[in-house]
Amino acid sequence: MAHSEFSFHVPSLEELAEVMQKGLKDNFADVQVSVVDCPDLTKEPFTFPVKGICGKTRIAEVGGVPYLIPLVNKKKVYDLNIIAKEINLPGAFILGAGAGPFQTLGFNSEFMPVIQTESEHNPPVNGSYFAHINPADGGCLLQKYSQKHHDFGCALLANLFASEGQPGKVIEVKAKRRTGQLNFVTCMRQTLEKQYGDKPVGMGGTFIVQKGKVKAHIMPAEFSSCPLNSDEEVNKWLHFYEMNAPLVCLPVFISRDPGFDLRLEHTHFFSHHGEGGHYHYDTTPDIVEYLGYFLPAEFLYRIDQPRETHSVGRD
């Protein structure tokens, strides 16, 4: 598969913590950012197959929205074990946001990749979830992928944060009570953009929405048969929901596009109460509480970048 590589600017964790503390203060009433040891992510509520998000960090953007709209391109299917080799990190722990593997499932869905890919030493572990719409009542159906399926597929588009899955130092962000207009991820991303300008910084990790509700979407099980040519048409096609904390989110964000037609932020989430989807923003600013663990990525890999592009459907 064709890919491009780029080296991110990688500030120290101490510097990033200071920058994010200041930036988040403009948008949240109560903010505490510090450098800590990554909590054991095999524990609840994360239940990841690895303990941490440290070691050889990378961001990969695979495919893109132009493979989904205006009309789906069903040739665009991927395997995360192969993606891990493509980013020079076989055995990588990968998390993020993408489209579910319709090639296996037989329908379209929101995908929450949480995968330890295959290596010489370890068999692969698929801890991913997917969310689709219940045909009976239009509600959310969240399922663990490995319950019925044994492949490591994804499709169309994916924003991924990869690492060796090791324990180590990470940036802890606690933010409570939203006072500004920006969602949690956009606030962090714009803070980095303001600070680092034309030196792009990429970050990923995980955060929990501990209290409150979020606005989310889930794509329909069927791809649109008529072309979706505007954000308005896309929004009519998507199904929107308010979903309840606690939610485990898988954010990937980049301060500025160095010219690879990137989606600058993309966050999917799962839960242990049957809700999951694509995060837009919290709808309960007065009570919302976020707790997150993040690291900067060293490298960007742009894999199978669409040749023809557009700006529809990037929210």
- Please give the residue ranges that form the binding site for Zn ion (CB under 5 A): 97, 278
Rounded least distance, CB 81 to Zn ion, Å? 22
In the bound state with Zn ion, the residue whose beta carbon lies nearer, of 52 and 202, is 202
Q: Which is nearer to Zn ion, 19 or 162 (by Cβ)?
A: 162
Q: How far is the CB of 279 from Zn ion (least distance, A)?
A: 8
**Which one, 28 or 269, has the nearer CB to Zn ion?**
269
Q: Which residue is nearest to Zn ion (CB)?
A: 278
Residue 154 Cβ vs Zn ion, minimum distance, rounded to whole Å: 12
Task: Rank residues 213 and 278 by Cβ distance to Zn ion and give the closer one.
Answer: 278
Residue 250 CB, shortest distance to Zn ion, in Å, is: 10
Instruction: Please name which of 285, 303, 277 lies closest in space to residue 60, comparing C-alpha atoms.
Output: 303
The distance of closest approach from Cβ of residue 195 to Zn ion in the complex, given in angstroms and rounded to an integer, is: 26
Q: For Zn ion, which is the closer residue by CB, 152 or 269?
A: 269
Of 81 and 159, CB closest to Zn ion: 159
- Write down the least CB distance from residue 266 to Zn ion, Å: 6
